[in-house]
Amino acid sequence: MGQPAEELSFIERARRTQIIGAAAATIAEDGIGQASLARIAKRAGVSKGVVSYHFAGKDDLMKQVVLAVYEAGAAAMTPVIQAATTPRDRLAAYLRSNVAYIAANPEALQAVIEIVSGYSPEGGGRLFAPGDDEVIADFLVGLFREGQQDGSFRDFDPLVMAHTVRGAIDVIAPRHARHPEIDLEAYAEELVALFDAATRRESS
C-alpha cells in the first residue's frame, strides 16, 4: 500500500493529499514531538485507521510529506529557473523562486525541516539515505560548474557554495515562523546580491 508503482485512483490521491496536508500542518504548528497519528487523523477529519490504510506506517507518511513538499517546490521553481539564460541569472532565479515558495508555504517548509532533522524512523536509522539530501545540492553544483566553465563565476568549491546556499535558505523558514514580520521579498534580494558577490569573477 502506498507504493507509487501502483496506479492510484483519484479518490485515493485526494485522501493521501489531504492527510499529507494535515500532517504538515500539525507538525508545523505543534512540533514533530506532538504530531501523533491520532492528532494528524483528527486534523484531517478522518479516523486513525484510515491513515494506516493509506500509508505503510508513520515512517512512510513522514517521507511522503517531505517528498510532496520537495516536488511541489521543484514544480514551482523549475519553470522560473529555466526561463533564465545565464548561470548568474539562474542562481538569482533559484534564490528568488525558492524564497517565494517558502513565503507561500511557510508551514510546509517548517514541517519538512522538523521531519528531516527531528524524526527518527522506527528501526533507528535515518529517514533518508546519506545521499538523498545531496540530490538537492546537486542541481546547484551543476549550475556552479557550468558557470565556472563559461567564466561567469570565479573559481570556488562548488560543493561548499551549494551547501552554503542551501544553509542560507533552510534558515529562513524557522526564522520566518518566529518573526512573521520579515519581508521575504527583500530578504531574497539580499541573498541574490550576497551570492552574486560571492560567486562572480573578481574582475567583473
Partner DNA sequence: CATGAATGAGGGTTCATTCAT
Partner DNA sequence: GATGAATGAACCCTCATTCAT
With 0-12 / 13-18 / 19 or more C-beta atoms within 10 angstroms meaning exposed / middle / buried, residue 180 is exposed
The least CB distance from residue 120 to its own copies, in Å, is 3
Q: Which of residues 106-145 bind its own copies (CB under 8 A)?
A: 113-114, 117-120, 124, 126, 130, 133
> Looking at beta carbons only, is 59 or 146 nearer to its own copies?
59
The least CB distance from residue 175 to its own copies, in Å, is 6
With 0-12 / 13-18 / 19 or more C-beta atoms within 10 angstroms meaning exposed / middle / buried, residue 90 is buried
Long-range contacts of 44-52 (CB under 8 A, 24+ apart): 44/18, 44/19, 46/15, 46/18, 46/19, 50/15, 50/19, 51/19
> Looking at beta carbons only, is 39 or 145 nearer to DNA?
39
Q: Give CA separation, 68 vs 17, 27, 60, 61, 163, in Å.
A: 9, 15, 12, 10, 22
Interaction site with DNA (CB under 7 A) = 9, 11-12, 15, 34-39, 46-54, 57-59, 122
> Looking at beta carbons only, is 145 or 166 nearer to its own copies?
166
Residue 178: contacted member of its own copies, DNA, none (CB under 5 to 8 Å, by partner type): its own copies
> Looking at beta carbons only, is 13 or 175 nearer to its own copies?
175
The least CB distance from residue 72 to DNA, in Å, is 22
Closest CA to 52 of 64, 60, 42: 60
The least CB distance from residue 21 to DNA, in Å, is 14
CA distance 40 to 187: 33
Give the cell for residue 170: 533552510
Residue 193: contacted member of its own copies, DNA, none (CB under 5 to 8 Å, by partner type): its own copies
- Which phi and psi (to 5°) does residue 65 adopt? -60, -50
> Looking at beta carbons only, is 47 or 120 nearer to its own copies?
120
Give the cell for residue 62: 513522514
Binding residues (CB under 8 A) for its own copies: these are 30-34, 113-114, 117-120, 124, 126, 130, 133, 154, 156-157, 160-161, 163-164, 166-172, 174-175, 178-179, 186-187, 190-191, 193-195, 197-200, 202
